[in-house]
Amino acid sequence: MTKHEFMEILRSREALFGLPEEDIERSLSFYGELIDDRVDEGMSEEEAVADVGAPGEIAAQILSEIPLKKLVKEKIKSSRRLRAWEIVLLALGSPIWLTLLIAALVILISMYAVLWSLVAVVWSVGAALVGSFLLSIAALVLLCVQGSVGMGLFLLGLGIVCMGLALFLWFGSMAATKGAWWLSKKVPFWIKSLFIGKEKKV
């Protein structure tokens, strides 16, 4: 192909991928320069263009080097140019998509609520067990005063068992809290990836 054809293909591929204007111009001048250098050395234009590589692959290479943020910004910029009828359609359809969106958000919030209530339950059980232990100490004192030392000691024994269970539960509570925290963090990323993930797969 000729140099002109090469440049046009490269330009159109890069524009297709949503590369910003100045990046396109810069890459075109680079490759144009290298083709010219080869021609200066004696290669024919066809040979020079072939030597430089396939414009499709070059465009893909350039794209893969650009940071994700820049790509997404460009995509958002270019997709914001909504035409009039698209805006009207969006407005007319809002009772539908807006309510669906709100419903989705409410479901998400209730899922969060359920998740964290579960965590709260685990902690509450732990707290109750600790409370039982403390109560058993109080009971011991009271019963000793009344003379039933045996009973008091028995209740203290139960209280100590409760404390032991509470200590075991401590690890469970920490794990549950960490797990819930990790899950809460993962969800926004997952949502983001639904939108951005598609861009990088070029």
Partner 1 sequence: MDIQMKRGLLDVCVLASIREEESYGYQIIKEMKPYVEISESTLYPILRRLEAAELLTVRTAEYNGRLRKYYHITESGVQRIEDFKEEWREILSIYQFVIKDREEKKANDET
Contacting positions for partner 1 (CB under 8 A): 27, 29-31, 33-34, 36-38, 40, 52-53, 57-58, 61-62, 65
User: Buried (b) or exposed (e) across 58-69, using 16+ Cβ within 10 A?
Assistant: bbeebbeeeeee
**Shorter beta-carbon distance to partner 1: residue 49 or 156:** 49
Measuring CA to CA, which residue among 55, 69, 67, 72 is closest to residue 18? 72
Query: In the complex, what is the shortest distance from the CB of residue 19 to partner 1, in angstroms, rounded to a whole number?
Result: 12
Contact 202, 60 (CB under 8 A): yes
Task: State the Cα angle at 113 between 173 and 197, rounded to 5°.
Answer: 100
Cβ atoms within 10 Å, residue 49: 24
**Shorter beta-carbon distance to partner 1: residue 50 or 144:** 50
Contact 55, 10 (CB under 8 A): yes
Query: In the complex, what is the shortest distance from the CB of residue 32 to partner 1, in angstroms, rounded to a whole number?
Result: 9
User: What whole-number distance in Å separates Cα of residue 49 and Cα of residue 46?
Assistant: 5
**Shorter beta-carbon distance to partner 1: residue 58 or 139:** 58
Query: In the complex, what is the shortest distance from the CB of residue 186 to partner 1, in angstroms, rounded to a whole number?
Result: 27
**Shorter beta-carbon distance to partner 1: residue 5 or 57:** 57
User: What whole-number distance in Å separates Cα of residue 167 and Cα of residue 161?
Assistant: 10
Query: In the complex, what is the shortest distance from the CB of residue 104 to partner 1, in angstroms, rounded to a whole number?
Result: 40
Query: In the complex, what is the shortest distance from the CB of residue 62 to partner 1, in angstroms, rounded to a whole number?
Result: 7
**Shorter beta-carbon distance to partner 1: residue 34 or 125:** 34
